[in-house]
Amino acid sequence: MTPVEALERVVHCLDRAHDTGFKAKAFVRALDVAKAVLPEELAERATAGTLTDLDGIGDSSAKVIQQALAGGDVAYLADLEQKTQVPLTEAGAVYRQALKGDLHMHSRWSDGSATIEAMARNAMAIGHEYMVLTDHSPRLTVAHGLSPERLAQQVEDVALLNERLAPFRILTGIEVDILEDGTLDHGDDVLSQLDLVIASVHSKLRMEGKQMTERMVRAIANPHVDVLGHCTGRMIGKRDPSSFDPDYVFAACAHFHTAVEINCRPERLDPPRPLLKIAVDYGCWFSIDSDAHSTGQLEWQPHGCNRAAEVGVPLDRVINTFTADRLLAWTRAEF
Ligand SMILES: [Zn+2]
Ligand SMILES: [Zn+2]
C-alpha cells in the first residue's frame, strides 16, 4: 500500500462513519498534500522525520505515511477499518445481500468528491454488479448540475469506462430537479437517452401541502421518471419534512410504477418510517440507495436495509435486487 492509497482508505473509512469533523478534514487535506509531493520526497522525509514540516501533514497522517512506506500494517488504518463498519442488523443483512447495485450517486461531475471510475471500483469492491450514475441536473447550480452537453459527454465517458470495467456495468442516469410546477429541468429528448431517472425536490421545500402534492404527483406521472428521490427532503435535526398528502403521492408511485427511494444518507433516512409504511401499504416499488457523494458513502446502504426490514418492505419490490438487464427492462416498460 502506498502512502496515498493508505490515506485514501483512511478518508474512505472516516466517510463511511459519517465523520465530518476536524480529524476527517485534516486527513482529506493530508491526502491532497501527499498527492502533490513526489513519492521520493515523501520517502526521504519519512526517513528524516520531517514529514510534519509539510503544511497539512500532522502527527497522525505522518504516522500513516511512515507505516505505509515501511510495508507492514498501518495500525491507525487497521483500527479504523474495524471501528467504522456500517451497522447492519440481522434482518437488514437479508436485504443487503440481495442488492445487486446502487441507483443513486454523484461523481466529481456534479458535487461528488470522487471520479466515476473510483466510484465504480468501490461499488465493485462491495459486491455490486452495477451502479447508476445520477449526477445533478442544471437547476442545481451550487452542485454544478449537468447541462445537456455535459451529460452527453458523460454518457460517452461512461461507455469507454464500461469497456474497461466489464462485466461490471455503469448505467447512465441523472437526479433531475422537480421544479415548482412539477415539471423537470431536462427535456424528454435528454431523459429518454438515459437508463434511469431519479426525480427529487431540492427547492421550495416549504411549499403548502396541497401544492407540493400536485407538484410531486406530476413528476411521478412523468413516463421518464423511474425513482422518486428522498421524498420529504428532511435533514434530521435541521430541516423538517416537507408536507404533502402521502395517499396521493404513494398511490401515484404505485400507479405509475415510480419506485419510492429509501435514501440511506444518515442525515436524511427518507422517507421516515410512518411514511414508508404507507408506501408499503400502497404496494409501491422501492430502491435502496446510498446517494453517495464519495466512495466511503457507497457503504451506507445498510442504513436503508435495516429500515426496510423493520418496516417490512417486500424484498421482491426492491428494484435494485434485480440484475442490470431486468432493471433496464423495468425502467423501459410501459405500464
Ligand atoms: Zn437529492
Ligand atoms: Zn443525490
Tens digit of each residue's pLDDT, the chain (335 residues): 999 999 999 999 999 999 989 999 999 999 999 999 999 999 999 999 999 999 999 999 999 999 999 998 899 999 999 999 999 999 999 999 999 999 999 999 999 999 999 999 999 999 999 999 999 998 887 788 999 999 999 999 999 999 999 999 999 999 999 999 999 999 999 999 999 999 999 999 999 999 999 999 999 999 999 999 999 999 999 999 999 999 999 999 999 999 999 999 999 999 999 999 999 999 999 999 999 999 999 999 999 999 999 999 999 999 999 999 999 999 998 76
For 30, the 3-state DSSP assignment is helix
What is the predicted pLDDT for the residue at 142? 78
pLDDT at 143: 80
Domains in the chain, start-ordered, CATH in brackets? 3-83 (1.10.150), 90-332 (3.20.20.140)
Torsion on CA atoms 310, 254, 334, 100, rounded to nearest 10:
-10
How far apart are the CA of 227 and the centre of ligand 1, in A? 12
What is the percent of the chain with per-residue pLDDT over 70, rounded to a whole number? 100
Chain centroid to CA 53: how far? 36
Of 331, 332, 318, residue with least CA distance to 101: 318
Distance 58 CA to ligand 1 centre (A): 35
The answer to whether 57 touches 50, Cβ cutoff 8 Å, is no
pLDDT of residue 103: 98
What are the distances in angstroms from CA 255 to CA 25, 37, 252, 322? 45, 56, 5, 20
Confirm if 311 and 277 have CB atoms less than 8 A apart. Answer: yes
Asked if 143 and 185 touch (Cβ cutoff 8 Å), the reply is: no
- Per the CB < 8 A criterion, the answer to whether 43 and 34 are in contact is no
pTM of structure:
0.95
Report helix, strand or coil for 171: strand
Rounded CA separation 318/326 (Å): 12
Q: Tens of pLDDT along 223-274?
A: 999 999 999 999 999 999 999 999 999 999 999 999 999 999 999 999 999 9
Going by the DSSP 8-state scheme, the letter that residue 211 receives in this structure is H
Burial 313-326 (b: 16+ CB within 10 A, else e): beeebbbbbbebee
CA of 206 to the centre of ligand 2 (A): 19
Residue 201: CB atoms within 10 Å? 24
Sequence-ordered list of residues with C-beta below 8 angstroms from that of 59, at least 6 positions apart, any chain: 52
pLDDT confidence of residue 78: 95
User: Residue 335's pLDDT is what?
Assistant: 65
- Rounded distance from Cα 106 to ligand 2 centre (Å): 6
| CA 31 to ligand 2 center in whole angstroms | 25
Kindly write down the DSSP assignment for every residue of 315-331, as one continuous string: GGGBGGGS-HHHHHHHH
* Alpha-carbon distances, residue 312 vs 199, 259, 280 (angstroms): 24, 16, 8
Ligand in nearest proximity to the CA of 200: 1
Element (H, E) at 177: strand 169-177
Ligand closest to Cα of 134 equals 2
Q: Distance, CA 165 to ligand 2 centroid (Å)?
A: 23
Per 3-state DSSP, the chain is made up of helix, strand and coil in percentages (nearest 5) of 50, 10, 35
Per-residue confidence (pLDDT) for residue 275, from 0 to 100: 98
**Distance in angstroms (rounded) separating the CA atoms of residues 228 and 255:** 13
Neighbours of ion ligand 2 (CB under 5 A): 175, 291
Residue 315 Cα, ligand 1 centroid: separation in angstroms? 24
